[in-house]
Amino acid sequence: MTLRLDGVSKEFAPGTPVLADLDLTIAPGEFVCVVGASGSGKSTLLSLVAGLTPPTTGRVLLDGEEVTGPGPERGLVFQTPSLYPWRSVARNVAFGLESLGVPRARREERVGRLLEEVGLASLAAALPGRLSGGQQQRVAIARALACSPRVLLLDEPFGALDVQTKEDMQLLIRQVWQDVATTVIMVTHDVEEAIFLGQRVLVLSCDPGRIARDLVVGLPRARSLEDKRSTEFLALRAEVEDLVRAEHRAHQARV
Amino acid sequence: MSGQAAAPVVAKEAAPVSEPRPGRRIRLLNSAVPARRVWVLRALSVLGPLAAWWALSASGLVNPTFLPSPAAVWAAGTDMAASGTLWTDLTASLGRIGLGFVLAVLISVPLGFTMGALPWAQALLEPVIGLLRYLPASAFIPLLIIWLGIGEASKVALLVLGVVFFNTLMTADVVRQVPRRLLEVSATLGAGRLRVASRVVFPYALPGMIDAMRVNAAAAWNFVVVAELIAATSGLGYRITRAQRFLQTDRIFAILVVIGLIGLTIDVTLRLLRTRVGRWTA
C-alpha cells in the first residue's frame, strides 16, 4: 500500500493552522518515524491518516483511495494503551476480528498467534488491569495487528514506559514490523528511538507544522541495541536533535 | 551527595529549633484502619443509637406514648407479623416499588444513554429534564390523584416521576465519561456506531449506571411510602397513618424499622450486583 498526503493542512481554529501544505509519500512496508517539538502537530498527522479528523484542505490517499473515516486497514496505538478493561487480553485482541465478522475458530487461532508474537500467550485470560504498562502496550499492538492493517499508526506508544521496558518494546516492534511486513508510522519525541526504529525520519517544524527535513536513516536493516552507540548513529542523532531544538526555540520565541 | 552529608551540621548550628524531631510521624489523612477496628466501628454505628434509645426509654424521662421502648416496638412488630397485616402491607409496598422502579429504569436508562452518547440528544433533552428534576415529585400528588385516581396508577406514577429525571441525568453523565481514546480506537478496529454503543460504551458505563440506580432506588423507596401516607388502603405508609390515628407509636416505630431494613436489603442487593458486574474496575 502506498500512503500519500496531497497538500494536506489542518486548522482546528480558523486562521491558525496546525499542519500546513504537507506533501508526503510513504512506500509499502516502510517504517517512518515522525519527530518534532511539542506543538508541531505530530499527533494530528496520525489522526488525519487514521481518519479520526478530516483535513481542512488536501487529501489523504491510501492506494489512491481517499481516506474519509477510520477503518481497520489503519491500526492505531496510543501512548495510553486504551484497552477494554472488562475484556480479557485475548478478547481485547479479538475485538477487531469480531467487528469484521471473522468466525470464532479462525478468530481464536489468529489471537493465539498474535499473543505468541508479542510474548503474552500465558496472559491470554488476564484482565488488562493486572498487567504492567509494557504488557498493556503489547496487547494494544496485538489488537491493532489483528485486523491485518496495511498501515500501523503508533502515537508515542512507548512514551510512558521506563527505559528498559522501552528498549524491549523497540526490539519487539522492529520484530513485528519485519514479521508482518506492514507500513509503520510512528510519532515520538525520542530522537534516539526514531533513528533506531525508522528507515526514514521526518522532522516537523512548528507553527504551522511542515516537513522541515526528510531523512533517510542509512543504517543496516538488521539493528541491535549496540548500534545506538555507533558513530553513524550518534552523528545522525545529533543532526536531528539540533533540528528539533532549533524548532523548539523558534516556537518558544513566538509565544 | 555532599549537600546531604553537610545538611545536619548546618541545621545544628543555624536553626536547631526548626529541625523536625526525628520521632515525629506524619500520618496520611486517609490512612488505612485495621479490619477488626472497622468491624467494631460498624457495630458501634448500629448498637450505639439502639443503646441510647433503650437507655432513654428505660430512664422514664420520656412518656412511652411518644417514645416506646425497644421491647414494646418488638412486641408491636411481632404482633403485626402474627396477624398478617405486616405481610400484606409489605407485599403491597414492594409490588409498587418493583413496578415503578422497573418502569423508571426502562425509561431513564435508554434516554440517559442516548443523551450521553449523542450530543444532539443532550442539547434537546438536557434543558427540559434539568428543569423537571427540580419540581418536587411530591407536589404532583394532588395532580396525579386528579388524573389517575387514588388507585395503584397514581402511586406508581409518583415513583416514576420522582426517579426518572435524576436517573436519566446520572446515566447520561456516566455514559459521557467513556474515554474518547477508547471510542477512537474502537472505530479504527472496524466497529460502527451501533457496535461501539453496545460493545464499548454500554459495558464501560454499566457499573456506573448501577451506581446511579442504587442512589435512586433509595429515593424510589421513599416515594412509595410518601404516596401511601397520602392516599392508600394498603402498604407500609398506609399502616403508619392508621397507627397514628390510634396513637400507636410502637407500631409506627416497628414499621419504620421494617422500612429501613427493606431499604438496606435493596441497597446491599444492588451493591452486590455492582461488585459482580464491575469486577474489572477493582
Does residue B11 or residue B74 have the better pLDDT? B74
What is the structure's pLDDT at A98? 94
Please check whether residues A62 and A161 belong to one and the same domain: yes
Q: Which residues of chain A have pLDDT under 50?
A: none
What is the structure's pLDDT at B7? 46
Q: How far is B88 from chain A (nearest CA, A)?
A: 43
Contact A50 B188 (CB under 8 A): yes
Does A171 fall in a domain? yes
Distance in angstroms (rounded) separating the CA atoms of residues A168 and B32: 37
- Cα–Cα–Cα angle for A157, A161, A166, nearest 5°? 80
What is the structure's pLDDT at A152? 95
| Chain B residues touching residue A75 (CB < 8 angstroms) | 188-189
CATH number at A22 reads 3.40.50.300
Please check whether residues A115 and A69 belong to one and the same domain: no
**pLDDT tens, residue by residue, B164-207:** 999 999 999 999 999 999 999 999 999 999 999 999 999 999 99
Considering only CB atoms, A99 lies closest to which of B189, B203, B204, namely: B189
* A:214-253 residues touching chain B, CB 8 A cutoff: none
Residue B202: closest C-alpha in chain A:
A86
| Chain B residues touching residue A96 (CB < 8 angstroms) | 189-191
Please check whether residues A248 and A156 belong to one and the same domain: yes
ipTM: 0.90
Parent domain of A213: 3-73+151-254
**pLDDT tens, residue by residue, A214-254:** 888 888 877 888 888 888 889 899 999 998 888 888 888 87
Please check whether residues A136 and A155 belong to one and the same domain: no
**pLDDT tens, residue by residue, B171-181:** 999 999 999 99
> Which residues sit opposite A147 in a β-bridge?
none
| Number of separate helices (H) and strands (E) present in chain B | 12, 0
Quote the radius of gyration of chain B (alpha carbons, Å): 27
Q: How many CB atoms lie within 10 A of CB A197?
A: 24
Does A79 fall in a domain? no
- Domain count along chain A: 2
Decide which of A121, A148, A175 is a domain's last residue: A148
What is the structure's pLDDT at B10? 46
Does A30 fall in a domain? yes
Per-residue confidence band for B11, with pLDDT thresholds at 50, 70 and 90: very low
Contact A85/B at CB under 8 A: yes
> Contact at 8 Å (CB) between A155 and A44?
no
What is the structure's pLDDT at B138? 86
- Cα–Cα–Cα angle for A141, A142, A148, nearest 5°? 100
Contact B188 A72 (CB under 8 A): yes
Decide which of A101, A128, A148 is a domain's last residue: A148
pTM, full prediction: 0.85
Contact B282 A129 (CB under 8 A): yes
Considering only CB atoms, B181 lies closest to which of A75, A78, A143, namely: A78
Decide if pLDDT at B5 tops 60.
Answer: no
Contact B190 A96 (CB under 8 A): yes
Does A169 fall in a domain? yes
Residue A143: closest C-alpha in chain B:
B189
Per-residue confidence band for B18, with pLDDT thresholds at 50, 70 and 90: low
Please give the domain boundaries of chain B with CATH numbers for all domains: 70-281 (1.10.3720.10)
Contact B187 A75 (CB under 8 A): no
Q: How far is B274 from chain A (nearest CA, A)?
A: 13
Please check whether residues A247 and A162 belong to one and the same domain: yes
CA distances from B170 to A108, B115, B242, B266 (A): 38, 10, 37, 19
Q: How far is A72 from chain B (nearest CA, A)?
A: 5
Please check whether residues A67 and A100 belong to one and the same domain: no
Dihedrals phi, psi of B76, to nearest 5 degrees: -60, -40
Please check whether residues A65 and A123 belong to one and the same domain: no
Cis omega (within 30 of 0) on the bond before A14? no
Q: How far is A76 from chain B (nearest CA, A)?
A: 7
Please check whether residues A118 and A159 belong to one and the same domain: no
Distance in angstroms (rounded) separating the CA atoms of residues A240 and A236: 6
Considering only CB atoms, A70 lies closest to which of B187, B199, B281, namely: B187
Per-residue confidence band for B19, with pLDDT thresholds at 50, 70 and 90: low
Q: DSSP per residue over B5-18, as a string? A: HHHHHHHHHH-TTT
Please check whether residues A65 and A15 belong to one and the same domain: yes
Considering only CB atoms, A127 lies closest to which of B184, B203, B280, namely: B280
Decide which of A100, A115, A148 is a domain's last residue: A148
Mean pLDDT of B240-265: 92
Considering only CB atoms, A147 lies closest to which of B181, B189, B195, namely: B189
Contact B191 A99 (CB under 8 A): yes
CB proximity list for B209: less than 8 A, separation 6 or greater: B109, B112, B171, B174, B175
Contact B187 A69 (CB under 8 A): yes
Does A209 fall in a domain? yes
Please check whether residues A205 and A165 belong to one and the same domain: yes
Decide if pLDDT at B151 tops 90.
Answer: no
SS (H, E, C) chain A: CCEEEEEEEEEEECCEEEEEEEEEEECCCCEEEEEECCCCCHHHHHHHHHCCCCCCEEEEEECCEECCCCCCCEEEECCCCCCCCCCCHHHHHHHHHHHCCCCHHHHHHHHHHHHHHCCCHHHCCCCHHHCCHHHHHHHHHHHHHHCCCCEEEEECCCCCCCHHHHHHHHHHHHHHHHHHCCEEEEECCCHHHHHHHCCEEEEECCCCECEEEEEECCCCCCCCHHHHHCHHHHHHHHHHHHHHHHHHHHHHHHC
Please check whether residues A138 and A155 belong to one and the same domain: no
A contact test, residue of B189, B198, B210 with most A CBs within 10 A: B189
Does A78 fall in a domain? no
What is the structure's pLDDT at B230? 83
Query: What size, in residues, is chain A?
Result: 255
| Chain B residues touching residue A155 (CB < 8 angstroms) | none
Please check whether residues A166 and A242 belong to one and the same domain: yes
For chain B, give the mean pLDDT: 89
Contact B282 A74 (CB under 8 A): no
| Chain B residues touching residue A50 (CB < 8 angstroms) | 184, 188
CB proximity list for B82: less than 8 A, separation 6 or greater: none
Does A199 fall in a domain? yes
Does A64 fall in a domain? yes
